[in-house]
Structures are given as structure tokens and as C-alpha cells.
Amino acid sequence: MKLGKNKKQKTDQIIRIEELEALMQKYGDDLKPEDMEDIVSMYMPHRKRRKLGAALLRLDKLQLLLLTLMLVVCILFITAFMQEKMGNFTINLNRLELYRKGVSIADTGDFKGATARLTASTVKDATNISIDDIPEDVDDIEGSHNGKNYMAYTYYLRNAGKEDLGYVASITLDSCSKGAEEAVRVAVWRNGERTVYAEPSANGEPEEGCVNFESDTIVCSYEETNFLVGNVDKYTIVIWMEGDDPECVDRIIGGSVELSMNIDADYDDQSSLLWKFVTDIKDTLFDDKPIDAAGNEAPNDSYYSDRVITWENRRNKD
């Protein structure tokens, strides 16, 4: 009985709409088509969605394929953007000018799972400590190895590609709150040599035992003009709030900093993306140091024709 009643109500509703349209066409000469559409939609719920569905069904297969591909590209773009913002410290390698040429990064010296992007684990609810609290062997541990109240990450950068080149590695201050950047310390071990960076003191002089940040947004940068095929560089980054800093006061409690390390080529290649793609295809076809098509593994140059380039057998070991 209930089902029959619903059917009758639906039929009555359609009849009333048809009668309304007839009356409006007869007496409403000044009525605009878009006004009619809005009125009819009020009486027929979901009418616009049904019309959209019917329009999609009328598309041919090619149009549906193109529409689907556009949707997938949009989703991938949004996902990539969100990933770039995850974590409190990321290492990003220039994919177009470095990764495609066989330069890669990894959190282990054997370069298993070589990639173009690494993310350190987040340190939550950290408080201030002293530099003396940082373990002496912090540069000897691979990957993410945070301690109590400090972030630590060790990774390797390798040229196993097509040519000798140069790079610039910069640590940037991406965001901060409550003035926490005034007491933060960033220690960098590059191939075993340590440098500690900090904001200038109140009088503009470097903090004790530290080098000033390069600017308000750049902590430091390392330039390697002759990164030969077979070379491997090692970086360890440690970040903490220095308790002995005069700017480490109560007002920065609850503050935070977010940093990243970006590795770019030291040259600006103005050639088009299409030409770069064609060049890579040519190198692959003629076996001229081809890059792995999947983009997941950096190839080995003839310098190491019979083995993988690692931190242990690197060309710049001595």
C-alpha cells in the first residue's frame, strides 16, 4: 500500500509540472528559458544531475577517455602537491636536470631504492637542549635517526649517470611560528665535516660556534662544481632548539620550524622538455649510457661498468 501511494504522488507531481509548463508557455510570453529551467528544477528534484548523466552517456568513448585522463592528471597533481608539504624536513632532488641524468639520493650507502625525494620523521613536543646533548656518532647512523628533542637525518647523493656536472644543495626555512627560528640550530655534516648554523645574535654577530643563516629564508648552501661520475657525497642534518641561546625564552614555547633541503643543478638548461625527452630516447636506442626507463634506478657509468656505485667504492673516496 505504501509503495502504491508513493507512485501515485510521483505521477501527480509530473502531471502538475506539465500543466504548469503549458500554462506558462500560453500566458508567460516574457518568461526567459533559464527562468523556466529553474522553476521546473524546483518541482523535479535532481533534474540537473539527471541531465548531466544523460549528457555524459551521449559522449563517445574517446571523449570519455580524455575526460578520465584529465581527472587522473588533476588527482596526481593534487597528490604531489600535498606530498611536498608533508613532514618537517624533506630532501628534494631536481628531477628534470639531475635525476634524469643519473643523479639520485638514498638513505643508505648502498643506494638500494635510490630516489629523488626523501622525508624525515617528525619530532613532536620537542623542548630545548644543548649542542652537547647531540651524540658524537650522529653522523655514523643512516637514514632517519631522531633522538630526544632533536631531528637527525643522514642521506647520500650519487652521480651514477651520463656526465660530470655540478649541483647546489640549499637548506631553506619554509615556515616558522612564535619566533622559534631565533633559537633553532641546524648542524650539517658534509662528508664528515660539521658546520652549525643559526640566526644572528641580537647584535648581528654570529652565535657562539655558529655561522649565520645566509638570509631570512636560506639557512645555508653547498656548491659542488665538479661532481664527477662515480662521486658520492654524504650529508647528515641535525636540527634542535638551543637552550643556551639568549633568544630561547618562554615566548617561543609551542613554536615550530619547517625546513627542507633542495638539490638543484648549478646550470640553467634552456632547451625544451620535448628536446630533453628526444635526447633521452636517442641515448637509449643507441645504448649511449641510457637512463632506466622506469626512473627508479640510477644507471652505472662505464667508470663502474661491472659494479654498483656505493659510498664504500665511490670515486671521491680519497
First to last CA, the chain: 91
Cα 175 from chain centroid?
15
Residue 298: count other Cβ atoms within 10 Å of its Cβ: 27
Residue 87: count other Cβ atoms within 10 Å of its Cβ: 15
Query: In this predicted model, what pLDDT tens digit does every residue of 153-212 receive, in sequence order?
Result: 999 999 988 789 999 999 999 887 766 778 889 999 999 999 999 998 888 889 889 999
Q: What is the pLDDT of residue 92?
A: 95
Is residue 64 pLDDT above 60, yes or no? yes
Q: How many CA atoms lie within 13 A of 264 on its CB side?
A: 10
Query: In this predicted model, what pLDDT tens digit does every residue of 71-85 receive, in sequence order?
Result: 777 776 555 444 333
Which carries the bigger pLDDT value, residue 182 or residue 35?
Answer: 182
Distance CA 268, CA 286 (A): 26
Query: In this predicted model, what pLDDT tens digit does every residue of 232-277 receive, in sequence order?
Result: 999 999 999 887 665 665 555 666 788 999 999 988 776 666 666 6
Distance CA 74, CA 149 (A): 39
Q: Give the percent of the chain with pLDDT over 90.
A: 35
H helix intervals, 44-152: 47-58, 61-84
Burial string for 245-278 (b: 16+ CB within 10 Å, else e) reads bebbeeebeebbbbbbbebbbeeeeeeeeeeeee
Which of 9-23, 140-154, 231-245 shows the highest mean pLDDT?
140-154
Cα 300 from chain centroid?
26
Average pLDDT of the chain to the nearest whole number: 75
Query: In this predicted model, what pLDDT tens digit does every residue of 301-317 receive, in sequence order?
Result: 445 555 688 999 999 98
Distance CA 249, CA 209 (A): 20
Q: What angle do helix axes 47-58 and 33-43 make, rounded to 10 degrees?
A: 110
Taking residues 134-140, what's their average pLDDT? 95
In degrees, rounded to 5, the angle at the alpha carbon of residue 236 between the alpha carbons of residues 231 and 241 is 160
Q: What is the pLDDT of residue 171?
A: 97
93: confidence class by pLDDT, cuts 50, 70, 90: very high
238 close to 136: Cβ distance less than 8 angstroms:
no
In DSSP terms, 235 is beta-bridged to 155, 190
